Amino acid sequence: MLTFNFCLLYAALFVVIGFAYVNVQKASDQLPSNGLFKLYGGLILWTIYLLVLDQSGILRPMVNPPRIPLLVILPAFILIVWFFASGKHRPFTQNIPIWQPVLIQSFRIGVEFLILGIYLKGIGPVQATFEGYNFDIVSGLLAIPTAWFLYKKKSFAKIVAWIWSIFSLLLLANIVFIFNTLVLRPEMWGFAENPISVEFTQMPYILIAGFYMPFAVFLHVFTITQLREK
């Protein structure tokens, strides 16, 4: 059931991304007619890359140097930087209502329950869940009223969006800190050795580091870009 839920959320976000692209394509002449095909092709290639990392076992020695940050998170962040630095974001930031990417961030509520499922399955410790020190579920919950304020164009909506964005990025940084120290400095949490099972480096659990977290960062950069432009 946990695997199904991981795949269900992954598929749902694929649909949301495609839907957003099609809407921008209708509103702008800056996107190619085969752009949706290229977009999904890129997402599928990224998924294949994660599957290859899983099957090769290259991520499983959870020791220094940390393999997930180097081979999964870093390439994802490089793609995000390239997307915005190349200016490819402009048709999207100009044509997508500012409240929509904020509302999509509510998917993080689901991610937090998936992480809880990982703990209940014995793959990770409670410290990495919202029952421990991972409070990112608050970001997902606050995304809903923040999006509503932006949708209603309240006078204070932009200030709320800025505060929410910065606060949520700090919570994401907290998650990265928790997972990395659990693996590399488990004694900080009272463990004699790394409490995270090697299963975490396999599909579908690697989607947390390989898609869900980078997608949340991407949406934050997208929102901050829109806030600065508007």
Residue 230's pLDDT band (cuts 50, 70, 90): low
Instruction: Give per-residue pLDDT as tens, 160-205.
Output: 999 999 999 999 999 989 988 888 888 888 888 888 888 888 999 9
pLDDT at site 32:
80
DSSP 30-78: SS-TTHHHHHHHHHHHHHHHHHHHHHHTTT-S--SSPHHIIIIIHHHHH
Instruction: Give per-residue pLDDT as tens, 61-92.
Output: 776 778 888 899 999 999 999 999 998 888 88
- Residues constituting the chain: 230
Answer whether 111's CB lies under 8 Å from 212's CB: yes
Q: What is the largest CA-CA distance in the chain?
A: 58
pLDDT at site 103:
97
Give the list of residues 6+ apart from residue 215 with CB closer than 8 angstroms, or none.
Answer: 13, 107
* 167, amino acid identity: F
For residue 43, how many C-alpha atoms fall within 13 Å in the half-sphere facing its CB?
19
Range list of β-strands (E), 151-223: none
Statement: residue 44 has pLDDT above 80: yes
Answer whether 50's CB lies under 8 Å from 32's CB: no
Of the candidates 171, 136, 146, the residue with the CA atom closest to the CA atom of residue 226: 146
Residue 5 burial (10 A CB sphere; 0-12, 13-18, 19+): middle
- CA dihedral over 218, 50, 209, 101, signed as positive or negative: positive
Structure tokens at 147: 């999006």
